[in-house]
Structure formats: C-alpha cells, structure tokens
Amino acid sequence: MDAVREVAMSVAELEAFLAREFPQAFGPGKPHHVMRVGHRVACVRLDADDSHLRPGGTISGPAMMALADVAVYVALLGQIGPVALAVTTNLSINFLRKPAPGPLFADARIIKLGKRLAVGDVGLRGAGSEDLVAHCVATYSIPDRPAS
C-alpha cells in the first residue's frame, strides 16, 4: 500500500501529463518513456532517433542533458503531482563514457524536496550495464508549498 500513498502520480498519469507538456518528447511514437516511478525515484528511457544522434551514431550531449533533466522532473512530479509548475534553475552534468548504441536509461532520485527548491541526481546508463554514461544533478524551483 506504500506505493499508493507515496507516489502522487502513476506511470500512466505521468505519461499522459508529459505528452501534453512535452509533446515532442512523450506520447505515442515519441522517444521518451516513463519506465518506473516510486518514492522520490523515477526511471525514464530514451529510444534515440536520428534527431538525437551525432554522425557515427553516438547519442548527442544535448539529448543526454534533456533526458537527465526530464527524469528528475518525473521523479519530482511523482512526489508533488501535476499541479506544480516547476522549472529547472540549475543543471550540472558530467559526461563519463561514450554511450553504446541502443536505448538509454535515466535513474533519478530526489535528494532534497524543500518548500521552494528540489534537487535530484540522475545516472544515465545503457541497457544491461551498470557503468554510468553520464551523471547529472539538477535543481528545480517550485511554488511555495509545505516542506516534506
């Protein structure tokens, strides 16, 4: 029962909300997919298409930054629900390894959920690997609400 209590939005609710908010990224035929949401965590998958690839087939840096950013956003929405208007104020990313071809997974975790700021970190990895391709920390500004 904990999962019911602890998550403000289900995967299906998040997918529907994101398809409206980010119509280029989420929705039928689009490359981003919410895999999982839990207490202060979320996983988002990117099935890279040509717009995300550099010549040679490597996923571009901006595609990884966008994936990392949205994964923290999804973990945050899972806590505070769809009503909140949250915007990224700071994002810092380290590119660690060249990603292998194939889908990319972003595992995000909220490490602070305050009244005005939320902070999350996120690791990007390929399928079937524990090695991080990139690591990112993002801060979101959120409308005033009780701290939790």
Q: Is 17 in the site for its own copies (CB under 8 A)?
A: no
CB of 85 vs its own copies, minimal distance in Å: 11
The answer to whether 63 touches 48, Cβ cutoff 8 Å, is: yes
For its own copies, the closer of residues 8 and 19 by Cβ is 19
29 counts as binding its own copies under rule CB under 8 A: no
Nearest to its own copies of 54, 102 (CB atom): 54
First and final C-alpha spacing in the chain: 20
* Binding string, residues 81-120; x marks residues near its own copies by CB under 8 A: ------xxxxxxxxxxx-------------xx---xx-x-
